[in-house]
């Protein structure tokens, strides 16, 4: 085989002075809101509310830490299996987050991007999301990617279907399909691959998150529950990343 893995090409590389560069793209599975609430005998929604606060702090810190892309797993395509009341609470918190925070994020230069089938959410939420996307589209600071109704397998199925359609129309030769074709059809097209994937709450699973994009990601599982995660813990995660030796399959 010829070319080196595409993921290595765009990945974090040493800085100009030879010092290891920080991760360009950090993705987070924000887990543990329910357990945080349970420990305090509070309803689960209280944990999610604290979770939104943690997300707000981490987005701010990401900009200060020079992270180019921060992806947060806010609602998976499997989260619909939760009780309707909890789903409604999560949607309410998302609505509130957009209404309360998007202007400050926009002023800070954050560009919002959403991955996942967010158009299946309620029409008012879709309108709010579209407004927030438009409001921040020209920003050049940190890209905040929020995964909403997202599942990596669905994303790959959709990408495959679109490539197959192009082949069927005679626009694409199946033999010519390579990683770049698949990437161009993913919801994350144009973004660098994930350098660092963090999951909170001590669970060690990927839960159908960015399966393609994490091909060469460093994985970091931390015990802290998501509501207790903050900018300091994100900075610690970057320190941990800086000590990793990334070989991308080489020596
Ligand atoms: C997992 O906790 C968390 C989620 C299902 C995602 C919810 C995320 C937030 C409320 C943060 C929102 C972020 C934005 C950008 C608005 P869990 O309920 O699975 O916890 P448990 O495993 O302890 O029950």
Report CA(6)–ligand 1 centroid distance (Å): 32
pLDDT in the model for residue 76: 97
Using the predicted structure, report yes or no on whether residue 56 has a pLDDT greater than 60. Answer: yes
* Annotated binding residues: 31-36, 44, 48, 76-78, 80, 82, 199, 205-207, 218
| φ, ψ dihedrals at 198, nearest 5° | -110, 135
Q: What is the pLDDT of residues 64-75, one digit of tens each?
A: 999 999 999 999
Nearest to 185 by CA among 171, 201, 203, 200: 171
Report CA(195)–ligand 1 centroid distance (Å): 22
At 20 the three-state DSSP class reads coil
Task: Extract long-range pairs of 169-175: CB within 8 Å, 24+ residues apart.
Answer: none
Residue 79 is a catalytic residue:
yes
| φ, ψ dihedrals at 222, nearest 5° | -115, 150
pLDDT over 90 percentage in the chain: 89
**Residue 74 CB less than 6 A away from ligand 1:** yes
Ligand 1 atom 22: residue of nearest CA: 32
Q: Which residues pair with 143 in a beta bridge?
A: 69, 111
Tokens of 136: 């921040």
pLDDT-based confidence at 146, cuts 50/70/90? Answer: very high
pLDDT in the model for residue 144: 98
pLDDT in the model for residue 251: 81
Cα→Cα distances 220→20, 33, 52, 231, Å: 18, 18, 21, 16
Closest ligand 1 atom, CA of 55?
Answer: 13
Catalytic residue among 31, 89, 149, 195: 31
Residue 10 is a catalytic residue:
no
Using the predicted structure, report yes or no on whether residue 172 has a pLDDT greater than 90. Answer: yes
Whether the pTM exceeds 0.85: the reply is yes
pLDDT-based confidence at 21, cuts 50/70/90? Answer: confident
Q: Which domains does the chain have, with CATH numbers?
A: 22-148+194-242 (3.40.1180.10)
Beta strands in the chain (DSSP E): 25-29, 69-76, 111-115, 143-150, 196-199, 218-221
Using the predicted structure, report yes or no on whether residue 3 has a pLDDT greater than 80. Answer: no
Q: What is the pLDDT of residues 73-86, one digit of tens each?
A: 999 999 999 999 99
Residue 171 has what DSSP assignment? Answer: S
Q: What is the pLDDT of residues 112-145, one digit of tens each?
A: 999 999 999 999 999 999 999 999 999 999 999 9
* Annotated binding residues for substrate: 32-36, 44, 48, 76-78, 80, 82, 199, 205-207
Closest ligand 1 atom, CA of 144?
Answer: 15
The predicted model gives 228-232 an average pLDDT of 98
Tokens 């991308």 correspond to what residue?
248
């Amino acid at each position: 085989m010829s070319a080196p893995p595409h993921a290595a090409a765009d990945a974090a590389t040493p800085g100009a002075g030879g010092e290891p560069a920080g991760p360009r793209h950090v993705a987070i599975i924000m887990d543990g809101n329910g357990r945080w609430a349970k420990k305090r005998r509070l309803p689960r929604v209280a944990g999610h509310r604290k979770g939104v606060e943690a997300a707000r702090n981490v987005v701010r810190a990401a900009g200060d830490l020079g992270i180019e892309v921060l992806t947060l797993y806010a609602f998976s395509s499997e989260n619909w299996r939760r009780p309707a009341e909890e789903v409604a609470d999560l949607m309410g918190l998302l609505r509130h987050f957009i209404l309360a925070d998007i202007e400050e994020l926009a002023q800070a230069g954050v560009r919002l991007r959403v991955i996942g089938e967010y158009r299946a959410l309620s029409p008012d939420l879709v309108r709010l999301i579209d407004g927030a996307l438009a409001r921040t589209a020209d920003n050049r600071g940190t890209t905040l990617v929020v995964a909403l109704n997202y599942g990596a397998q669905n994303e790959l199925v959709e990408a495959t279907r679109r490539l197959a359609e192009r082949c069927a129309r005679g626009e694409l030769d199946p033999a010519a399909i390579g990683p770049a074709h698949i990437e161009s059809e993913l919801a994350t097209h144009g973004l660098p691959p994930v350098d660092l994937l963090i999951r909170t709450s001590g669970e060690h699973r990927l839960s159908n998150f960015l399966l393609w994009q994490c091909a060469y990601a460093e994985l970091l599982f931390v015990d802290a529950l998501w509501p207790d995660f903050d900018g300091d813990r994100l900075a610690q995660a970057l320190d941990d990343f800086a000590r990793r030796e990334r070989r991308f399959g080489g020596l």
